[in-house]
Amino acid sequence: MAGEEEGYDVQEEGKKAFRLNVVSMSISIAICETECRSALCRRMKENVLKVLVNDAGKYGDAAEFDTVISKDDALKEFDDPEGFIKRNRIREDVCTLYPEFIKDASDRAVLEKKMHREHTGWIDLSKVGESVKATLIADSLPEERQTEWDMLSFEEMGSVCSGCELSWDKGRGCLGSFGPDNSALPEIASRYGCAITASVPDGASNNRIYTKDDAAQLLKEIPILRDSLEKEGKLAVRRYAGAVDRLEAVAKISVREGCGIRFF
């Protein structure tokens, strides 16, 4: 996510200056929610329903498919191809047609007889044996899986999150903002001996997972950070107090639930 925010720049000599309208990337904070016994989403996120594979055909009825026809082949079925395109509002950049693309019912009836099945690559795990299911999940990457959670609408996800005690970001979920990647909070933290907070930019870059012990150390840094912001001035308080509150919230959950924290 990109956004614009004034950067707070602390010079080595201790001078303070502010840069306006600096475009920066945002760093987010998240708990490792599937490690939390209290997470309402945990069961759904661990329940893998589909896996993406390269050779879907060998899985028979478990292999999902679309019914399609190429646009070129579809146009051959009509004496007035331009009329077909206009009636169905087919975009010029579309190469493959699905039944739902054909808005005219009579045109759809013509093309459905000519359409063929094309595997999507997704395997429905409810239609394979347990050993095959276990192998498919084990051999897949996280982005090659669809879970029960992935099947929910945004509204349904929001409803689950709003009722979860781990929804630390004001009831909106277990993910929130640390701030822009040019935030001066890590630099301030470094100068006041707060090593965990100071490490956030590197942690985000290196995909570090902060442990329960790291979280316990972070909780010790919170009062130091709040005091340091007061010393840095009102603008520093206004700009970074919210981030410190969010750090405290995730650290408390990590210590209580024994889960990791990540920045990205």
Give the residue-averaged pLDDT of 98-109. 95
Q: Is 74 left (phi over 0), alpha (psi -120 to 50) or beta?
A: alpha
**264: which residues sit within 8 A by CB, 6+ positions away?**
27, 28, 30, 204, 207
Provide the mean pLDDT of the chain: 89
Is pLDDT of 12 > 80? no
6 pLDDT higher than 50: no
Angle at 150 between CA 90 and CA 29, to 5 degrees: 115
pTM of the model: 0.69
- Residue 119 β-bridge partners: 65
Average pLDDT for residues 148-159, to the nearest whole number?
94
* Amino acid sitting at position 151: M
